[in-house]
A and B are shown apart, each in its own frame.
Chain A
Amino acid sequence: MRFTIERRLEQPRWLAVAVPIGSLLFALVVAGVVLLVTGHDPISTYRQLFDAAFISSGALDQTLIAATPLAFTGLAAAAAFRMRLFNIGAEGQLYMGAIVGAAAGLYFGGRGGPSAFVIAAMVVAGCLGGMAWGSIPGVLRAFLGTSEILTSLMLNYVAAYILTYLIFQSESYWRQTTGFNAKVFPTGKPLPPDAIWPSWTLNAQGGIGIPLGALLAVLVAVVLWVLYRRMRFGFEVQVLGDSDGAARYAGVRTRRKILAVMAISGAIAGLGGVSQDGDFRHALDGDPNGLQKQAYGYTGIVVAALARYNPFACLVVAFLLGGLNNAGNALQGADFPSGLVGVIEGIILFSALGGELLVRHRVRISRTAHAPAATEPAQ
């Protein structure tokens, strides 16, 4: 017997549905074995996971909080990866969006102007912050041919140090400096009330808050879809992604596209950052044990890959991963090690990503060339 993996010439539609479902079932079975071995009841564990993610009181509210940043970073990654431009820097671009966006909120807020204007200024500032940070690897790639993977990754660390510096190591504009509490532990200056983003509450499960950021993420997905599916720009980007040479031959200006796509990708990640300020933290979160520990930017890469760079699928995947994330916190405890939660989450993600291979490729089982019948054992 010989296994070969070959590319599918055509990808049947039903596969796109069956494979993710199959992967999930496979993951649940494998994780179930791990759970059994470690002395936990798989069914009740899965039920708890599902409960904590979507069913119990406050679950959807928290899942949305976890999903919103992942939607942004997922869309940011999808926008760039579609062109085979591997922007690993959503993490840093998100920090920069949070920094610049918070500055706008602190500056324009509390002056008696309309709240909508303050929030709009924050949105623009957040996008600009992320865009600027994303454009650095963009320019380096476009003009010097530097690998954007390395430069965008390295800039994540720089952005993290800047973020920590602003709150912990300097008396910056973003840091709260008055009051006794501020002396005891460094915190960001609270945003004025008119710079805090609204959220709409659904009366279910004891109140599900729909943050403005979640709605903006949906809007971004729509815009991206139109841009990539309905406009020349997106078409050119996709041609560039599929075949660099063909695109150049057709007269696509590669350099401009690289700059534009890195800027768009950075802006989306930056929007995710300012949504953290306005929607959830209500200040710039510079604590290395806070925003930086969440690694939203890196998880966004997984979101984009699972969504196969489709913007709407990014939203769905972000929601599911947000649920998984949220449920993980609920599951761990004195009788359930957090490491095991990580293992289960890892198995689910690994199978989901592994299953993708089967959508695009087929496994062919063929018998070896020499005398197959002779080597077969008697039935």
Chain B
Amino acid sequence: MTMDATEIQARARRRLAIDRRVRKDPRYQRVIGRYVSAGLLQANHAVAEHAEPITVDDVLYVGRLEPRVLELLPAAMIKTPRMFAIPKTLPADLKAVVNSLRQSKEPADFRGVKGAKLLSWLSRIGRKNKLPSRLKSFRLQADEQRLLERISQKLELSETDVVRKALRELAAKELLTD
């Protein structure tokens, strides 16, 4: 190491002064206040918590100083979307990550955050252990549709839940007994 402790401290203080300006920025205050209020982050210093939606642009800005907000952003957009004022058009890298997470797939790394870390938050924020569902379309014959409706009424389940139940029972019978 070529620097001595005094020089390191002096240079760090100059960098810290820049960081502190960012921390005083209203965008930083809004984003951190919302994350803490939502229980996504914990702070050991005073934070003005609030429940107003925050913009994705502000989160991306704050993420340059505090990458933890980026780590949580894609999963939070899916699991707690009311936290955000989500624009119609997202940055391409964020959109790709969100699309992967919606399919419960590990996304590519996002602005320095590992894909595996981004995925790990999906089941741990919002409704715990609840992963996003995906749309799948099937064509049924008329008699099969009537059968689905009758079972749905008989079991007092939605048609989707009937399919889920049947799938699990079939899996238990055909797969797990191997």
Do the two chains belong together in a single complex? no
